[in-house]
C-alpha cells in the first residue's frame, strides 16, 4: 500500500479511537442499502474465504503495521476493472479498533457477496463493508447485483434515522426500514431498488425487483 495513503488511514483511525475513548467501540458503521454498497464500491464479487494470513506493511515512520490478508476463491465478478476478474486476496487492518474485518464463519464454506474498495491493485475491506452470505440474499437482491443496482448508481438512497425526515432532490429515495426497529435489512433493502423512472430519467423512485425476468420492474408508491 502507498505509504501516504496508509499513514492517512491510520491517522484517521487513531483520531476516531481517541475521540470515542474505548478502542473496542471505535468502529461505528452507518446503515447502507445493498444498492448503495454496490454503487459506492470499486469491486463487488461472489466467492469463498479459503485462508487467512498476516502481513507486515512498512511505512515511512514508526513501527511496521500489521494487516490481515484473506485468500478467497472468486466465483463471480459483478463489478470491477477488466484486469481484476479473478480476485484472490482481500486486505483489512489487523485491529478491530481500526475497523478491521474478522471472518467468523468457517473457511472453505459458503459463498459470500463481498464489496470492497481499491487501493492500487489491492482490494480493501473493513468491518463496515457489505459482506453477506449469498444464500441469505433474496432473489430481488441477487437480481439487483446481477443487473439492476447498476442502473440506479445516479440515484441516492437516504437513510431515515429519525423523524421527521425527507428528501431534498428528485434523484433521492427515502429509506425507512430502520425507523422503528433499527433493523435496516427489511422490505426496502430486501426487495426494492432506487431507480430512474422510464418516463423521467431525472426522477428516482423505489421500484420492485420482481423475479419474473427482464421488463418486470414495478414502481412502488
Domain boundaries, the chain: 3-29+41-134, 138-219
- DSSP string computed for the chain: --HHHHHHHHHHHHHHHHHHS-GGG--------HHHHHHH-SEEEEEEEEEEEEEEE--SSSS-EEEEEEEEEEEEEEE--TT-SS--EEEEES-GGGT-----SPTT-S-EEEEEEEETTEEE--TTS-EEEGGGS-HHHHHIIIIIHHHTTTSEEEE--SSS----STTEEEE-TTTTT---SSHHHHHEEEEEETTEEEEEEEEE--TT-TT--EE--
Whole-angstrom Cα distance, residue 107 to residue 48? 8
Query: Phi and psi dihedrals of 157, rounded to 5?
Result: -95, 125
Whole-angstrom Cα distance, residue 25 to residue 67? 19
Domain 138-219 top-level CATH class: alpha beta
Q: Extract the C-alpha cell encoding 201.
A: 430519467
| pLDDT value, residue 25 | 53
Q: Answer yes or no: CATH 2.40.50.120 is held by domain 3-29+41-134.
A: yes
Q: What does each of the 221 residues of the chain score in pLDDT, given as a tens digit?
A: 444 444 444 444 443 343 334 444 557 888 999 999 999 999 999 999 999 999 887 665 666 778 999 999 999 999 999 888 889 999 999 877 778 998 888 777 899 999 999 998 899 999 999 999 999 999 999 999 999 999 999 999 999 988 899 999 999 999 999 987 778 989 999 999 999 998 887 899 999 997 544 445 566 64
Amino acid at each position: 500500500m502507498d505509504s501516504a495513503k496508509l499513514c492517512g488511514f491510520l491517522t484517521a483511525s487513531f483520531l476516531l479511537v481517541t475521540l470515542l475513548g474505548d478502542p473496542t467501540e471505535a468502529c461505528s458503521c452507518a446503515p447502507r442499502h445493498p444498492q448503495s454498497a454496490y454503487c459506492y464500491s470499486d469491486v463487488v464479487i461472489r466467492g469463498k474465504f479459503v485462508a487467512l494470513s498476516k502481513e507486515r506493511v512498512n511505512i515511512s515512520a514508526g513501527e511496521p503495521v500489521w494487516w490481515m490478508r484473506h485468500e478467497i476463491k472468486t466465483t463471480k465478478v459483478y463489478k470491477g476493472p477488466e484486469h481484476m476478474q479473478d480476485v484472490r486476496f482481500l486486505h483489512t487492518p489487523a485491529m478491530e479498533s481500526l475497523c478491521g474485518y474478522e471472518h467468523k464463519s468457517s473457511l472453505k464454506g459458503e459463498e459470500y457477496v463481498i464489496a470492497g474498495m481499491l487501493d492500487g491493485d489491492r482490494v480493501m475491506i473493513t468491518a463496515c463493508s457489505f459482506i453477506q452470505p449469498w444464500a441469505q440474499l433474496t432473489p430481488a437482491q441477487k437480481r439487483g447485483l446481477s443487473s439492476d443496482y447498476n442502473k440506479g448508481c445516479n440515484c441516492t438512497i437516504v437513510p431515515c434515522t429519525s423523524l421527521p425526515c425527507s428528501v431534498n432532490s428528485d434523484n433521492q429515495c427515502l429509506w425507512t426500514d430502520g425507523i422503528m426497529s433499527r433493523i435496516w435489512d427489511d422490505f426496502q433493502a430486501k426487495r426494492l431498488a432506487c431507480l430512474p423512472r422510464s418516463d423521467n430519467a431525472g426522477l428516482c423512485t423505489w421500484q420492485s425487483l420482481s423475479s419474473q425476468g427482464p421488463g418486470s420492474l414495478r414502481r412502488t408508491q
